[in-house]
Each structure stands twice: as C-alpha cells, then as structure tokens.
Structure 1
Amino acid sequence: MQTETIVYIIIAGITALLLALFQYIYKSKIKSNLKYLLTALRTISIFGILLLLINPKFESFTYFDEKPTLVVAVDNSESISYLEQDNNAKQIVDKIKTNADLNERFNVASYSFGKTVNNSDSLSFNERQSNLSKALKQFGEVYSNLTAPIVMVTDGNQTYGSDYSFMANGIKQPIYPIILGDSTLHSDLSIKQLNVNRYVYLKNGFPVEIITNYNGTTSITTELKIWSGNTVVFRKQLQFDASKTSEIVSTTLLANSVGVKTYRVELTPLSNEKNTVNNSKNFGVEVIDQKTNIALVYTRLHPDLGALKKSIESNEQRSVTLIKPKDYLLKPNDFQLVVLYQPNHEFNAVLEAVKTQKLNTFTIAGTTTNFNILNNSQGYFKQTVTNQTENFQPTLNRNYNTFIVNNLDFNNYPPLQSEFGELQFMVPHDVILYKTINGISTEEALLSTFEIDNTKHALLNGEDIWRWRAQAFLDTESFTDFDNFIGKLVQYLSSNKKRNRINIDYKSFYNGNDDVIITAQYFNKNFEFDAEASLTIILKNKETETTREVPLLLNNTNYTVDLSGIEPGLYDFTVKHNSEAVSASGSFQVIDYNVEQQFLNADITKLKSVAENSNGTAYFNNQTDNLIDALLADNRFATIQKSTKNIVPLIDWKYLLGLIVLSLFVEWFIRKYNGLI
C-alpha cells in the first residue's frame, strides 16, 4: 500500500474521532457513560464513510514457474513418404513426445505443416505442397514473447512460398532441423523450372523457357524433348559435366487451335539415374481467339491509372490502353470496354460516342469529376453537386448477385475520396460496395453495376483505388485477391452474356498440385441469393467415363466444393439444384504433375543455414538422442519464475457498507431508547 494512502487513512481516523468527540463530549448534555459508547459508534460510522471515499488498495503477488515451450513441427508433405522417410519421422516425433525429461523441462507443442500449419493429431504425409517459410513465420509470431525452441522434422524441400532460408533472422527462437532424407549425392537430371504464359493467342507463337539441372561429376549427354500428344514438337541435345550443371533452353511453339493444350517436357534419363520422375514435366496453355481490349480514358495523371492497368492485365486475356479523350475518338471501334476515369468537359464527345455506339462502360468518379457534365450525359444516375468532398470507406454487400465476389475484407481498406451528396439511380442497379462514414453505413452506393438497353455499366464513386491494391498486398503479401476482384468486374462488363440463376467460377485447367476448387452462386427467380439451396456437382472423367457426385457447401455467399486430389485428366461437370431444373456446366483439365516427387535428396544446405542463423543446430534423423541431450543441457531454456501482481481493495465495500449501516442503526436505537431523539 502506498504511503500516501496510509496518511489519508490516519487523517480519516483522526477526523472521525474529532467529529464524534465534538458532538458527544465537547458540548453534549449527556452525563452518563453512554456518551462514550455513542462517540465510538459515531467514530466508526464517519471513519467507514471516509474509507469508502479513499478506497484503499494493496498489491498482492502470486508466484509461479513457467516452463519453456518446445515446438515440434513435422513436414506432412508427400515428399517425406516419397523419400521413404515417413516411418523415421513418426519415430522421431514419438521419441520426443514420450521423453520424460523433455516433458518435465518443456511444454511440448506438436504441429504438422504442408501448405498450411495444423495441430499434429495424426500424420498422413499426403500434403501436395510444403511451405516451410509460412510455418516458420507463424511459429515466430505465436511464440515471439516466449522461450520456445523450434524442432523442424523435415527434408527441407519447399514447393510453395518464399525462400525459408532467409526467415531465421526475423525469428527470435533457435531452430533445430532434424534432416530427413539421403545425404548421399547421386547423379541426377531434372527440370528445375518451366516458364510459360497461361494464355496464348490463336496462330501466334508462344515462348517456353526450361531450366534444366544436372547433379553429378562425370560428363554426360542427354536430349530434351517437348511432346504434344504423341508428336515431338521440339528437341535439343544437351551436355553437362562437373562445371556445367545447368542450362536454360528457350523455344517458341505455335498455337494452332482454340482450347486447352497440354505438352510434356522430358529429359532422356541416365542409365543409372535413381529418380526419373523429375526428368519430365507437363504444362498447359489455353489458346484463345482474341484479347479483350479495354480503353482507359483519362485527362489527369493519377496512381489509380497504373493500379487499374496492372490489375486488369494480371489476366493475360485482357489488354489496357491508356488514352486521352481526343485520341479515343480516332479509333472508337477498337475496344470492347471503356473505362472513363473522372470525366470532365474534355469527355463530352467521348460520352456521346459511347452512348451512340452502346458500349459497356466503367465510370470512376472522384474529386476532379465534372458531375454536371456526367449527369447530363446519361439518364441512369444523378449525383448531387455540392463541390465538397468526403472520405468514404467500403462495406461489401453480401447479397450482391450479379457475379461471384470473393470475400475480401473491405472494412480494412482505406477510404476513397468522392463528392459529398446524394447519389440517385433512375434505373435498377445492384450495389457491390456501400459507403461508410466513421463505421456507419450510409446505404448509398460506392460501387454498383446496372444493365440497360443491352449494355452493362459500373460506377465507382471514389478515387484512390490504388490504396486498396496496396492494402490487399499488406494483408496477404499478394495482389492476387484484389486483382481477381477487379478482373471479375471487368469480365462481367466486357461480356454480353445474360445473367444465369447459377453462376460458376473455375479455371480451365489446373496443375497437379493446385487446389481444384469450384465456386457457385444460386439465385431464386427474383435473382436474390438463396442461402438454403441444395446444390450438387456431377463430375465426369472424359477418359475413364467414371462419374461422381459431390455436394457443394455454403461458404458465406458462395457454394464451394474442393476437388483437390482428383486424378489427372479431362473433366466435364454440371452444378445442379437438387429440386429445381436449374444447372450450369463447364469443363476443365487437371495436368499430371507432382511437385513433391521432384526431389532426390534433403536440402541440407538450407536447413543448416536456418539453424546457424537462428543460433540452433541441424541434426540428421539418426541423431535425435543428441538433439534431446542438447535441449536438456542448454541454459537458455531454463524454467523461469514469474509473478502476477493483483491490486485488491483493503476492505470489501459490501462489508464496510454493512458496518456503517449497523453502527448508525445501533447509535439511533440507543438514542431513541434513552429519549435522546
């Protein structure tokens, strides 16, 4: 208790006593000894009231021992079983988890990881991808304020994410890799990487870049071939030796027909090669007839222009041309969609041309938009002109039903600047994003779409959309989510397809290790999203003629099905309603490729680098006992005594209040009984 509080209590006691003495002793007419009892009761009452006002408190300390945490993370990817290390991994984990000395010294926390991190309830070694960098990052964040050495049971072969060898410097915990896999170097040919565009254009050549590797000491000769079906479309002789261990091969192939085309790249294996799986790799391209050309008309330079161009062109099927209004008028028939960025008086002729030709538009308004001109150029919406600006944050309309919108966290996005005033639509429209001010929704459209006279239009009433793209990268370390959102909006605007009651979202082909996820939205007859529908996908393998039915599960405003792990091949599918005659169909191809089977050895170099940079040590799978001894002997992992400080009141106010009431009542009763009242 603080000295100041003690002084207040002493002063309160003296004050209470003096007031009681003044009332019952100094000028009291009571002659009997009763006055001393009344003085004591009055002193108690006054002192209790003053204590309630002072509310004295004292500090209470509770001491406890905190053991360090031992994080055991096991690589659950297919490469472990492919290298025949699955039994070794299980034995290592069991030995660590059942060691009595380790459990007495540490709180052992077990995890498994592939593409994501999971609690280690069981190990199946069937994860199709491994992301060590994400696992290390998550462990570093979760245990940043604790003593928690990390034991990584892995082969060190990463197929997804950033390079984990640079992660150790940002993690406060020492890392102890247990290396699974053969450390013996074998002669091996492999296709390390293959670079090709996902989309190509009919009758055009498309580049293919192949990075080939050789591990070995002798001089060898092999042949690289690219197959299209049963036909070799490219071949080249390659030579490697101890000094030349890699070669980049570039060529150009011709796209002859529309659709998904698959190819196979292969290196002729060595006579004594142990792993031939990594000698070949399949890839696919989608041949399209033409590119969607989009005009981005502007008069004012702004970061939004670059952000929009990058987002739209992230899909290679689309091309964006930045163009001034006067230049657009020279070639108005070259574009399938016109993006009007902050129209002003220079847009008069463009707005008239777009209206006359009945083109689809995406209008973006902001602080320099001339709303008088924009309002007069069309009869779809009117913005009240106030010549004042306001910042509006976005809120996603979960009931938007025109196309599938990914569940982006728009509430975390920065505000956009726009004209302050009411926006009124004169035609039916669908709102994607509402305006929000200080967390309060205005129920006014920030981003909306509408269809009129067989044309499609969108209006974004705000500038600085480049901040949204930057925020998307901060949230996910990728522009993909935001680019997909803009891409779907542009795809809708540049297409003349009519609205369907079932919308489906999928890719035309998937690589063998991709997640095969198909998303659907179902709407009732009024085109309102139905969250109680029962949807099923019928999947048919075109090569084997086998079919399977899988139900779709509701996920917010989408129905999704995860088909990951299906056999490579061509598939047709139909998403149908189980009680209505409503369906949507499509097709895709899964290309045979297992990235987890491309490795012959453990990546010892990177694992040792991670251990060294984090002040840990790397061990091989037969050195588990050495690791246990090192952990038990390391003074950095000692049990720490900690204390918890609790500030509690000196006297419970309920009891103190009861004492005050009791003393006042007894004092009143005595005075009443003796005729002093």
Structure 2
Amino acid sequence: LQNSSNFDFQDSQTNIYQSLDALNKLSKEQKSAIVLISDGNQTYGNDYRYFSSKLPIYSIAIGDTTRFSDIEISRINTNVYANLNNKFPVEVFINYLGKKNIKSKFVIEENNQIIYSEVINFSIDKKSAHLQFKLPANKIGKHLYKARVAPLTDEKNKINNLKNFAVEIIDKKTKIAIVYSMLHPDLGMLKSVIETNQKRQVTWIDLHSMNNYDIDSDMYILYQPNNKFDKIFEMLQLKNKNYFIITGKNTDWNFLNNIQSDFKKSTSFDTERFGANFNINFNAFYIEDIGFEDFSPLEGAFGNIEITVPYQPILFQTINGLQREDPLLITISN
C-alpha cells in the first residue's frame, strides 16, 4: 500500500484481493470503510469475489468494463506435508468467462514433466470445474509443482492460467499428544482415528498422574481444558508448539478465556446442541466435506465467541438447522 496522491498507472498487473486484504489488516483496530474504484478486471492473485471483508466495501465501476473470454485457475488446495510412499490429495477450482462451448487441458508439471492431466469442458451453462485427484509422494524433500490450464485462442489475460504450489515430502511418524484430565469415550475414539494412519503415533498426557509435561510432540490435542492445563499452556506458548483445543460441556471457559488471548467466549449455565455446516470457501489446506451436516450434534456451553486474531472457519455452528455466524471449528496461524 502507498499513501500517495501521485499515480502513474504504469503497472501491468492488478491484484484486487491483495489490496482488500491489506486494508482489512491495516484497519482491524478501527471502524472504517473501503471504496473500490476499478474496472473489476483482476489479472493475478486470489479471486476477490470470494474475499470475506470485515469492513464494508463500496464499489465504483470505471474505465473499460468489457469482459473478455477468460479461463483461470482460481484456487488450489493441498496439504503442506505428505508422507513418503503415500499419495496426497489436490483440489483445483477453474473458472470460465465466455459465451462459447470450449474444451481445454489441465496439467500438473514437476521439473517440466507432466505428472497429471485432464481434459475439461465448459459451456454457457457450465462456468466452473472442480477437480480432485491424488499425486504420488515418491521422494523426500520439498517439491514445487506447476498447475497450468491451456489458454483460449482469443484470451487476453494468460497470467491466471498458471499457479504454483509446493508440498514437502517427509518420512517420519507424526507424534501427537492427547492431554486430558477426565476420562471420556472421545479419548479412545481420537486415538483410534489418528492411528488409522500408520505414520501417526499417539502419546497420552494424564494431568492427574504426570508431573513432566515436556513430551516432544508435533501436535498437542487439549481435551476440554480446565485449570489443570495451566502448565501445559505455558509450555506450548513458550515453545511455540502446535495445538488443537477441543471444548465441550465440561470445559472451564473462565480458565480458557484467561490463559490465552486468541478467542473468548461469553457463556451461561445453559448448554446447547450444535450441528455443523461446512465452509466451502476454506482454503488454508485441503479438506473435504464428508457430510458434516449429517453428523450427530455436539453438546457445549451456549454463548457467543469473539476471535481476536486472523482465522479461517472450517465449520459454522447450526442450531436446529439454522446457521449461526459463530464458527464451530477454526484454524489460527500465528
């Protein structure tokens, strides 16, 4: 962002999404609004049509608003890491702007070698394609992949036909510690599901019987935290460890609100049964909607959640089939 009244309009690319994102971060502590003056044609970057702004946006259309035929890779979802000798999932969204029936070819390349290809068709009624496939993880190290869709014969903007992504292939067991202070059937279920993947190993941390919490793990699952979790939180924050908090009707929210500053929940003595609704715009990593809305509801304390850091919701809360603004499952990257 530049604070200037002198513009030369000589740049060759437009990234509307990046500008909106930067302004949201800049103004997160104060109330303000954004005035977007543009012809609406973006040449690279994330698709701004999917941007979720905390600030109101007022648009003024100027210039040549003629829309040219265009095909673009709008988003690629995949995981950061993959295990050696496995296959990792990739999800690709491709959009088409035009009035003809067209056919194009999508390919994935590594080291200038095509490792995946697929023919895709678009028409007046079919403007998007959602591709899902798996790539092999055959060699340890960081791998750079190039996703490319063949341009149209009359296409003006070809920059958005290409996107790069990287995946690191590792060969080790991921160590996961489950921290708890109460017994519950959920604990056994968590261990069973996690260790379905043979590259994952679960360690128990029972706060009633252990004095040494400094167990080296890649991820810590904190099950229904209460005041017995204070030293665990101190260790996690000191060593900047990854952790996953699972709350429920036995969670001590007064403790949880005070021990960390990322989110707060105002609760009452009432409990509620929460259903789930999948966020189709989630893109922090690859995840499928496995029918979350059909799962049995979860029971927890009723109240509103205030999140004070940037986050992405994976699931939204539903109550009696109606979606709330509060999330049910989120990711936070510090």
Partner residue of 2:95 out of 201, 210, 213: 213
Question: Hey, what's the Cα distance between the residues in 2 that align with 1:202 and 1:300?
Answer: 36
CA shift in 2, pair 1:403/1:280, >3 Å: same
Q: How far did residue 260 of structure 1 move?
A: 0.7
CA shift in 2, pair 1:142/1:121, >3 Å: farther
- Per-residue CA deviation, residues 560-588 of structure 1 (Å, 9 max, x unaligned), is xxxxxxxxxxxxxxxxxxxxxxxxxxxxx
CA shift in 2, pair 1:301/1:127, >3 Å: farther
- Per-residue CA deviation, residues 170-212 of structure 1 (Å, 9 max, x unaligned), is 58xxx462435x3222222211221111111111111111122
Higher strand share: 2
CA shift in 2, pair 1:279/1:140, >3 Å: same
The residue aligned with 2:115 is 233
The residue aligned with 1:254 is 136
Question: Hey, what's the Cα distance between the residues in 2 that align with 1:141 and 1:246?
Answer: 37
The residue aligned with 2:62 is 179
Partner residue of 1:224 out of 106, 119, 126: 106
Q: How far did residue 120 of structure 1 move?
A: 2.7
Give ranges in structure 1 of 5+ residues lacking alignment: 1-112, 145-149, 310-319, 325-333, 370-380, 382-393, 406-415, 419-461, 486-677
- Per-residue CA deviation, residues 337-378 of structure 1 (Å, 9 max, x unaligned), is 6544x31xxx3xxx49x89xx955889995569xxxxxxxxx
Question: Hey, what's the Cα distance between the residues in 2 that align with 1:167 and 1:297?
Answer: 35
Question: Hey, what's the Cα distance between the residues in 2 that align with 1:478 and 1:183?
Answer: 34
Please identify the structure whose Cα radius of gyration is greater: 1
Question: Hey, what's the Cα distance between the residues in 2 that align with 1:248 and 1:482?
Answer: 23
1:470 and 2:280 correspond? no
The residue aligned with 1:312 is none
Contact 1:151 1:178 in 2 (8 A): no
Question: Hey, what's the Cα distance between the residues in 2 that align with 1:363 and 1:151?
Answer: 43
**SS of residue paired to 2:82:** strand
Following superposition of structure 1 onto structure 2, how do residues 174-573 of structure 1 map, counting pairs within 5 Å?
Answer: 175=58, 177-180=60-63, 182-300=64-182, 322=190, 335=201, 338-340=204-206, 342-343=207-208, 347=209, 351=210, 360=216, 367=227, 468-471=261-264, 474-478=307-311, 483=332
Letter in 2 for 1:470: F
Following superposition of structure 1 onto structure 2, how do residues 3-82 of structure 1 map, counting pairs within 5 Å?
Answer: none
Higher helix share: 1
Following superposition of structure 1 onto structure 2, how do residues 131-146 of structure 1 map, counting pairs within 5 Å?
Answer: 131-132=19-20, 135=23, 138=27, 141-142=30-31
Letter in 2 for 1:201: N
CA shift in 2, pair 1:193/1:474, >3 Å: same
**SS of residue paired to 1:250:** strand
Percent of matched pairs sharing the same residue? 25
Letter in 1 for 2:164: N
Q: How far did residue 153 of structure 1 move?
A: 2.6
- Per-residue CA deviation, residues 242-271 of structure 1 (Å, 9 max, x unaligned), is 222222122111100111111111112222
CA shift in 2, pair 1:270/1:252, >3 Å: same
Contact 1:207 1:253 in 2 (8 A): yes
Contact 1:469 1:479 in 2 (8 A): no
Question: Hey, what's the Cα distance between the residues in 1 that align with 2:332 and 2:121?
Answer: 42
**SS of residue paired to 1:132:** helix
Question: Hey, what's the Cα distance between the residues in 1 that align with 2:123 and 2:107?
Answer: 20
Following superposition of structure 1 onto structure 2, how do residues 575-590 of structure 1 map, counting pairs within 5 Å?
Answer: none
CA shift in 2, pair 1:164/1:484, >3 Å: closer
The residue aligned with 2:38 is 154
Question: Hey, what's the Cα distance between the residues in 1 that align with 2:150 and 2:19?
Answer: 30
Letter in 2 for 1:478: Y
Question: RMSD of aligned C-alpha atoms?
Answer: 5.2
Letter in 2 for 1:154: S
Q: How far did residue 135 of structure 1 move?
A: 3.7
Q: How far did residue 482 of structure 1 move?
A: 9.2
Contact 1:192 1:211 in 2 (8 A): yes
Following superposition of structure 1 onto structure 2, how do residues 587-666 of structure 1 map, counting pairs within 5 Å?
Answer: none
Letter in 1 for 2:18: S
The residue aligned with 2:3 is 119
- Greater relative CO (CA pairs within 8 A, separation 6+): 1
**SS of residue paired to 1:476:** coil
TM-score by length of 2: 0.55
Give ranges in structure 2 of 5+ residues lacking alignment: 193-199, 242-251, 265-304, 314-329
Question: Hey, what's the Cα distance between the residues in 2 that align with 1:127 and 1:188?
Answer: 15
**SS of residue paired to 2:124:** coil
Question: Hey, what's the Cα distance between the residues in 2 that align with 1:264 and 1:363?
Answer: 35
Matched residue count: 247
Q: How far did residue 288 of structure 1 move?
A: 1.4
Question: Hey, what's the Cα distance between the residues in 2 that align with 1:229 and 1:270?
Answer: 25
Contact 1:131 1:159 in 2 (8 A): no
Contact 2:262 2:309 in 1 (8 A): no
